Amino acid sequence: MKRRTFLKGTTAAGVVATAASTFPTPALSQNRRKWRLVTTWPKNLPGLGTGAQYFADAITKCSGGRLSVQLHASGEIVPAFESIDAVGSGTVEMGHGAPYYWKGKAPASQFVSNFPFGLTAQEYNGWYHFGGGAALCDEVYEGLGCKFLVCGNTGVQHPGWSRKEINTLADFKGLKMRMPGIGAEVMRRIGATVVNLPGSEVAAALASGTIDWVEWNNPYGEASMGFWRHAKYYYIPGWHESGTVLETFINRKAWDGLEDDLKAIVTNCAYATNVVMLSEFQARSGPVLQQFINKHGVQVRRLSDEQLVTIGEVCGEVISEFVAADPLTKKVFESMNKFRTEQIAYSGTTEQDFFRARSLKYKWPA
């Protein structure tokens, strides 16, 4: 190569390099976002708090940091029951909680969460993805200024821990009970004195005697609460919450401002959290229940069929009143109830009959 040609080449390269150094930063780094996620749960609460953290971390990792989500537990930015207002107003971008907490602002939200004697977790998933549920949930949350995504499920919950043994429904009269959602109104009509407390307050309330009965979750979700120290009676079955959905609610303007690929990442991370959270509750609750019984002397008590029928009838009255009072609630319930009717016939020939067969006495490897 001739010297003159070489110098011309190097001079051109230098010009290109100089020009490149003045170019703006690539769009990828310009479009990075930092969102805050507020929860209704205490920090690192097993199942619920850790599930919300899984969701936040999954978005950050799957987006390669383009959407970084920082979790804030109940009370760090706003109290638990003010989370929906903070997100709807745009104070923070997203939240994680239980839909029935917002019944005072959107009555239909308590049905979005599920309803007593309603759908199992997998039935709810079926309704949400293939029964029109996703669109109905969004319609409810539009009035709250939010986008809704299903983001967790507890599975069947236990109706609660009691300081006192309950032999008849009359024993509920005057009982100070923590229970949320539609079940709370049912128990109020049966005679209990019902209060709604966030997760950060329930253990202390039971310990102090402020409440006699606490409903919270299932064994794994309750293990860290130490309820067994103050209440030895653990009641079944979970008529009130058969598969309670948990949610992420996202400020609508913030959601609409996301690129399509980031919307897909957030959506699928929410769906993954739904599976992971339910799976963890299922996997860990069995051993924890045995610890309650064998190590801590907890006594499992079953409500009788007669008691459940009465509770179910009161529940029907409550639901009928809620449905009559609000057109959107009516719309959501009718959709879910139609799906429930179809699933009762089907689930009776699958899970229900399988569970009956599995419980029969036959020889089995230890």
State pLDDT tens for residues 28-70.
445 899 999 999 999 899 999 999 999 999 999 999 999 999 9
71 backbone φψ class: left, alpha, beta (φ>0; ψ -120 to 50): beta
**Domain residue limits, the chain:** 29-156+243-283, 160-240+299-348
Q: What's the pLDDT score for residue 15?
A: 38
Class of domain 160-240+299-348: alpha beta
Query: Mind giving me the DSSP string for 58-100?
Result: HHHHHTTTSEEEEEE-TTTSS-GGGHHHHHHTTSSSEEEE-GG
Q: What's the pLDDT score for residue 30?
A: 54
Domain 160-240+299-348 in the same topology as domain 29-156+243-283: yes
Contact 182, 322 (CB under 8 A): yes
Q: What is the pTM of this model?
A: 0.89
Q: What's the pLDDT score for residue 232?
A: 96
CA separation for the pair 222, 159 (Å, rounded)? 12
Query: Mind giving me the DSSP string for 129-190?
Result: HHSSHHHHHHHHHHTTTEEEEEEEE--SPP-EEESS---SGGGGTT-EEE--HHHHHHHHHH
| Topology adopted by domain 29-156+243-283 | D-Maltodextrin-Binding Protein; domain 2 (3.40.190)
Taking 50 as the pLDDT cut, the residues of the chain under it are 1-29
Q: What's the pLDDT score for residue 11?
A: 42
Neighbours of 159 (CB within 10 A): 22
CA separation for the pair 366, 360 (Å, rounded)? 16
Contacts of 93 (CB under 8 A, 6+ apart): 35, 36, 37, 87, 250, 251, 254
Beta partners for residue 160, in sequence order: 235
For 149, 200, 258, 312, 363, the CA distances from 49, given in Å and listed in that order, are 17, 11, 25, 31, 41
